Chain A
Amino acid sequence: MARSKLIKERVPTPEVPVEERVKSFVEVNLGYDFASAVKEAERCIQCPPEYAPCIKGCPVHINIPGFIKALRENSENPDEAVKNALRVIWNDNTLPAVTGRVCPQEEQCEAPCVMGKVGDPINIGKLERFVADYARKHGIDEELLKEFISEENGIKGKVAVVGSGPAGLTCAGELAKMGYKVTIFEALHKPGGVLIYGIPEFRLPKEILDKEIAKLHELGVEIKLDHIVGKTVTLEELLEEYDAVFIGTGAGTPKLLNIPGILLDRIYTANEFLTRINLMKAYKFPEYDEPISIGKKTIVIGAGNTAMDAARSALRMGSEVTIAYRRGREDMTARIEEIKHAEEEGVKFEFFLNPVEFIGDENGKVKAVKFEKMRPLEERDAKGKRKIVGTGEYITLEADTVIIAIGLEPNKIISEEATGLKTNPDGTLVVDENLMTSIPGVFAGGDAIRGEATVILAMGDGKKAAKAIDEYIQKKRLPA
C-alpha cells in the first residue's frame, strides 16, 4: 500500500450551536457520519498492535488500530464495516456508546497516539462512538449479539452482582458470555449507576444508555431493581444462594463542607441536584412530579466532571453560573472537552477561592458565599497537584443557589451490615490482586475499591473480576 501524506488535522465533529443548546438538554456533540468517520480513520498510520501506544493507553486495551482498519477496509459497505469494527471493540468493551462519549481520551488512548506528535491525535473516542451509534441505529448490534450469546447460559453457575453501574454491568455481561446465570441487584428504580443519575442527557442521552443495558437482558442477565443489598437482602443470604458475588456499589455518598451555613436552603450536593435533574427529570417539572428550586445566581464549588455537569445543568435551568475552585485552571480534573463546553456556554470560572462560610438571609435561604483567597506553592501533593495555602484575604460572592461538588465516598450500607468485609480508612473495600475482598467468593471493583475514578476503570475492574470469579468457581468445583 502506498504511503499517503499524513493528514495533520482532525476531521471535526459537528456540535449544536451554543445559543440553541443552552436552552435544552439535547446532546451537544452530534458525532461523525460514515463518510467523515472513514476520513478520520484514514489518518491512522496503523501502528502494529504489539506496539500501538493507543492500545496501551486504553485501560481495557481495545485493539484500536484493528477496529479502525475494519472501518476503512469496507468503505463501500458501511454495514459490514461497522459490524467488523464493533466485533473488535466488543472483545474488550461492551459499552462503547458510553465510553466513546465519557472517557477522558486526551489522558488515555489519545494521549500517546503517535499522530499527536506531528498533529492532532486520531479522534479515537468519536470513532468508537460512531461505530456504536451506527450499529445501534441499523440493528447491527442485535445481529452481532447473537454471536456472543452463550449456549450454556446458567450452566456454569450462579453469580450475584451488586450495583448496576459500569463496573456491575460489565462484570455481569462478561459472566453471561461465559455461561453463568447472573442476577444484578440495584438499589434505585433504574439501572446504570452514575450513567443514569449523574451524567446529564446533554453528554449521554438516556435512550442510548437504556439500549446498551437492554443488550444484557438478551445475554440472559436479570436485573432486580429496588433491592438494597445490606437491607433488602444481606450479603450472607446472597452467598447462600449464589456461587460468587461481585460488589460494584460505586462511591455515591457526597462529601459535605464542614463550614457554617451548610444547612441553608438552596444549598445542594451535586448528587442531589443531578439526581433530581437526570433520574427524576425535574427539568421537566411539572410534567414530572419532582421539583427543583434554582435561583438566578448559582455558585458551583469544585472543578471535576461532577462540577461541570452541575454547572451546565443549572445554566440550562436559566441560572447564571460561576464555578469556584480552590486551585488553578490547570489543576481542574474535569475532561478538557467539558471544560471547553462549559466556557462556551457561558459558565464563569473563579480560581484560588476556598469557601469558609455560607451566608443566609432572614428566611434561611443562602444569599452569599464567603471565600478565602488561596495561593499556589511549588510543592506538590501525593496526587501530583500543586499545594495551596490561604492568604488571609477574603472575598464574598453573591449566590442564591449553591451546588457542592467536592467529591464522593463509598456508600457504607453494605460494609456496615456485612462486618466481615474489610474497608480502608476512606471507606473503599480492601481487595487482593484478583479483586477478591476479605470474604472468600466476594469480589469488588470500580469506585467501590478506588474511590471516585472513571467509567472505563470501573469497566476494566468488572471484566477482570469476571475472569477471577470464573476461575474461583471452576476451582471450587474441582474435587480436592
Chain B
Amino acid sequence: MYEILEKREIAANNVLYKIHAPHIARKVQPGQFVVVRAFENGERIPLTPVMWDAEEGWITLVTFIRGRTTLRMNMELQEGDKILNIAGPLGNPAPMKKFGKILAIGMITGIVEVYPIAKAWQEIGNEVITLHIVPEPMIILKEDLEKAVSKHIVESFPLKEGMGMPEIFKELVTRGQAKVRELIEKEKPDLVFMVGPARGQKAIFDVVKEYGIPMEVDLHPIMVDGTGMCGACRVTVGGEVKFACVDGPSFNAYEVNWEELIARSEFYADLEKKALEDYLTKLQQGGAQ
C-alpha cells in the first residue's frame, strides 16, 4: 500500500497526487506508466508518473476527472490515505536521442505525459518546443514546462456557459490544428510528438502529415493488466497487431490504424456512463463519503 503524501486540485478537474512508491521512483523513465488500483472493488487504470524522486521514494500522478474511478479517487482519497496497488513502471521508455528540434504537444491532461519526456529530451541537447492545447480553467504545469524546455506555448480558450463536451472538443481541434500549422511553418521541427485523446491525435496528425514530418504518438487504448497478458490494449500498427502496454505506448503516427483505435477507445462508453451515474446517485444518497 502506498501513502498519499500530498493531494491538490491543480486546475479544474485536474488532481495531483504525490505518492510514496519507492519501487516505481527508483526505476521509472520518461515514457513509462503505472497501473493503479485504488479500491478493493476498484478497477486498474493506467496513469503516468509526472515527476519523481528516487532518493525520497515518491512519484506524482495527475488525473483528469473523467469517469468513475478518477472521480472516486478525488472524492474518497485524502492526504495520508493509502492507494492499494501501483504496479510498474510499465511500457517502453521514450527513446533518448538527439532528434534536433522537437514539437511536443499535449491536449488537455495529455500534457502531463509530455512533461517528463520533453524535459529529458531538452536535457540531452534537443531544442524542445511544447504546446498545450487546453480550455483555460485546465491549464497545468505551465511554470514547470517554461523552466524545462526552450519554449512553452499555451493555446487556450475560455469556457462559455452551455458549452458541452462536443463543442469543447471542436474548439480544441480547430485551435490546435491552426496553431500546429503555424508552428510547423515557423519552427520547422524535425519531430512532432503528441499525447491526447485519440480523436485529437488524429486531427493533429492530419495536419502534420501534410508536411511529411515524422510524428510519434503515445497511444491510450483501454488497458486491464498492463503487462501483456490480456490483449485489451491491442492496436494495429504498420498492419500488425501490437499490444500498447508492452510494445508501446509510443508508436509512429503514420503506421497507426486511427479508425480502429478511435472505435476501440469508445467501447465502454455506455458502461462508463452507467458506472459514473451509479456512483453519482450513491453520492447524492450519502452512500459514499
Contacts and interface: CB of A to CB of B under 8 A. Distances in A.
A287 B278 CA distance: 9
- From DSSP, what is the main secondary structure of chain A's interface residues? loop
Contacts of A284: 41
B90 A231 contact: yes
A187 B7 CA distance: 27
Interface in B228-267: 228-232, 234-236, 241, 246, 257, 260, 263-264, 267
A281 B37 CA distance: 13
B180 interface: no
Given A272-B231, A291-B275, A189 B85 contact: yes
Contacts of B86: 226
Interface string B71-98: 0100000000000111111100000000
Contact of B227 (A228, A276, A292): A228
A239 B88 CA distance: 20
B241 A262 contact: yes
B42 A276 contact: no
A423 to B, nearest CB: 15
Contacts of B230: 254, 269, 271-272, 275
A366 to B, nearest CB: 11
A285 B69 CA distance: 13
Nearest to A291: B271
Interface in B259-289: 260, 263-264, 267-268, 270-272, 274-275, 278-279
Contacts of A231: 27, 88-90
Contact of A413 (B24, B227, B264, B271): B227
B224 A288 contact: no
Interface in B181-222: none
Contacts of A276: 224
A281 B39 CA distance: 13
A225 to B, nearest CB: 7
A232 B23 contact: yes
A411 B231 CA distance: 12
A263 B271 contact: no
Contacts of A269: 230-232
Interface string A255-291: 0101000110110110110011000110011111111
A201 to B, nearest CB: 15
B249 to A, nearest CB: 14
A281 B41 contact: yes
Given A189-B84, A289-B275, A232 B89 contact: yes
B184 to A, nearest CB: 31
Contacts of B272: 291
Given A189-B84, A189-B87, A364-B263, A291 B228 contact: no
Given A265-B267, A411-B228, A226 B234 contact: no
A412 interface: yes
Most chain A CB neighbours (cut-off 10 Å) among B69, B72, B225, B229: B229
B68 interface: yes
Nearest to B37: A189
Contacts of B228: 252-253, 411-413
Given A189-B44, A263-B241, A286-B278, A413 B85 contact: no
A364 B278 CA distance: 27
B56 interface: no
A293 interface: yes
Given A232-B89, A291-B275, A280 B44 contact: yes
A228 B41 contact: no
Contacts of B235: 263
B43 interface: yes
A411 to B, nearest CB: 5
Contacts of B246: 412-413
A227 interface: yes
Contacts of B234: 256, 262-263
A438 B153 CA distance: 52
Given A189-B87, A413-B246, A254 B43 contact: no
Interface size class of B (residues with CB under 8 A): 35 or more
Contacts of B224: 272, 275-276, 280
B88 A289 contact: no
Contact of A286 (B227, B267, B274): B274
Given A289-B69, A291-B275, A258 B41 contact: no
Contacts of B89: 231-232
Interface string A403-417: 000000001110000
B271 to A, nearest CB: 4
Contact of A288 (B41, B236, B274): B41
B241 A228 contact: no
B85 A228 contact: no
Most chain B CB neighbours (cut-off 10 Å) among A227, A232, A252, A266: A232
Nearest to B85: A189
A102 B100 CA distance: 58
Contact of A263 (B42, B72, B264, B279): B264
A291 B87 contact: no
B68 A289 contact: yes
Given A225-B85, A231-B89, A412-B228, A289 B43 contact: yes
B271 A258 contact: no
B88 A285 contact: no
A60 interface: no
A188 interface: yes
Interface in A31-76: none
Contacts of B27: 231-233
B229 A254 contact: yes
A265 B227 contact: no
Contacts of B236: 263
Contacts of B270: 293
Given A232-B23, A289-B41, A289-B69, A275 B88 contact: no
Most chain B CB neighbours (cut-off 10 Å) among A231, A266, A363, A413: A231
B88 A232 contact: yes
Interface string A233-264: 10000000000000000001110101000110
Contacts of A263: 234-236, 241, 257, 260, 263-264
B229 to A, nearest CB: 4
Given A276-B224, A293-B271, A411-B229, 12 more contacts: A232-B88, A252-B229, A258-B241, A265-B264, A268-B232, A275-B225, A280-B44, A286-B279, A289-B42, A293-B270, A363-B263, A364-B264
18 contacts: A187-B227, A188-B87, A189-B44, A231-B27, A252-B227, A252-B228, A254-B229, A254-B230, A265-B263, A266-B267, A275-B229, A280-B224, A284-B41, A286-B278, A289-B42, A289-B43, A289-B68, A412-B246
Question: Which 6 residue pairs across A and B have the least CB separation, nearest first?
Answer: A291-B271, A272-B230, A364-B263, A252-B229, A226-B87, A189-B85
